[in-house]
Structure 1
Amino acid sequence: MPHGAADTAHPGPGETHRRIVESYVQILEGRIEDALKLIDPEVVDHRGGTQGDHRGREAWRQKWERMSAGSAFHDVSVTIEQNVVSGDTSVNRYTMRGTRTDSGRRYEVLGMDMVRVRKGRIVEHWALLDTDAMRNQLGL
């Protein structure tokens, strides 16, 4: 591709990021195959903490399968409040809402995530979610 030419064969980082966020409800329902198409086979998921980095599409599959198995939440939605794209990187500030099924308690928390995209697929991912606020709102 000539220098400066747009890659029209693949969605840009902002579009790929939007698609993965919009897939979140389907992922919780166990429908993950379409979303996995947006994940590069060699992806690195920088989860941090005791989990450390996870590598490869299969690690994403396992993460999403654990999330959907017996999900304790319903009425889940994610609203992108702001998106910033720079080169091959997209950052979303979003609000996540849902209801804990067993207690009926609702939560609304802020999060941010960043992805690096190559050829329409996520190759790197970082995320922050206000889990303290979530636990507090759910009475945990």
Structure 2
Amino acid sequence: MTEPTTDRMGVAEVHRRIVELTGVGRYEEALALIASDVVDHRGGVSGDHYGLDAWKDKWEHMDDGFRDVSVTIEQNLSSNEFSVNRYTIRGTLVASGRRYEVTGIDMVRIRDGKLAEHWALIDAAGMRHQLGLGGSA
């Protein structure tokens, strides 16, 4: 069976496909589903990040200090050009061997079959707590 092309995929399918591809390290294929002028609304002190180079950098450092990282999409809702995933992320902190499992939510806007904007929230306090790094659950 051939993979659907981005012009035939719905917004939820594009979103799901990017998560799947990055989960198995197929970053170049995932980048093909992201608009060149993408905006990653990361918030906090890092603010917004722009363009494909910002995505490449994020993916290159996403697992720094961790192993066995996985993302499971628990639920997806989509409407018009937006898709929202509620997911569980799991992994192990290499330095201590401690594992974590937390919930996250991300929302994307798809334009012309490609991810154009991204917002995400993760239970960072719960993650720090489970890893023994301070913070409360």
* TM-score > 0.5, shorter chain as reference: yes
Q: Does 1:21 align with 2:15?
A: no
Deviations 1:82-131 (A, max 9, x none): 10000010000000011112211110000000000012210000000001
Following TM superposition, by how much is the alpha carbon of 1:23 offset from its aligned partner in structure 2, in angstroms? 2.5
The question of whether the paired residues in 2 share the 8 Å contact of 1:11 and 1:119 is answered with no
RMSD: 1.7
Deviations 1:6-49 (A, max 9, x none): x983311100110111123334xxx5211111110010111111
Q: Which residue of 2 aligns with 1:128?
A: 121
Look up the SS of the partner of 1:103 in the other structure: coil
Over 4 Å off, 4+ runs: none
Look up the SS of the partner of 1:93 in the other structure: strand
Q: Does 1:66 align with 2:61?
A: yes
Q: Which residue of 12, 31, 47 maps to 1:36?
A: 31
TM, length-normalised to structure 2: 0.86
> Alignment length, in residue pairs?
129
In the alignment, the residues of structure 2 paired with residue 63 and residue 95 of structure 1 have an alpha-carbon distance, to the nearest angstrom, of: 19
Q: Which residue of 68, 72, 79 maps to 1:75?
A: 68
Look up the SS of the partner of 2:102 in the other structure: strand
Gaps of 5+ in 2: none
In the alignment, the residues of structure 2 paired with residue 25 and residue 43 of structure 1 have an alpha-carbon distance, to the nearest angstrom, of: 20
Q: Which residue of 53, 69, 80 maps to 1:87?
A: 80
TM, length-normalised to structure 1: 0.85
Task: State the identity as a percent.
Answer: 60
